[in-house]
Amino acid sequence: MPTAQNPAQWIEVGGHRSAGYAREVCPECPQDQEKWVTQLQEPPA
């Protein structure tokens, strides 16, 4: 399963629905892109 589908599946299994668009947030972006941290966020309703 693609990583981007994990939040959607978690919301559905929990009996919720999405309240908006998913987004990517990169709170840590050092020079070396291999060390980047990326969060996938999707608001549940």
Tens-of-pLDDT digits for all 45 residues of the chain? 577 788 888 888 999 998 988 888 988 888 998 888 888 888 888
User: pLDDT value at position 5?
Assistant: 84
Using the structure block, give the residue that is written with the tokens 């291999």: 34
Rg of the chain over Cα atoms, rounded to whole angstroms, equals 13
pTM of the predicted model as reported, rounded to 2 decimal places: 0.61
Per-residue H/E/C for 26-37: EEECCCCHHHCE
Distance of CA 36 to the CA centre of its chain: 15
User: pLDDT value at position 1?
Assistant: 59
The amino acid at 25: V
Residue ranges with strand state E in 1-45: 23-28, 37-41
User: pLDDT value at position 10?
Assistant: 87
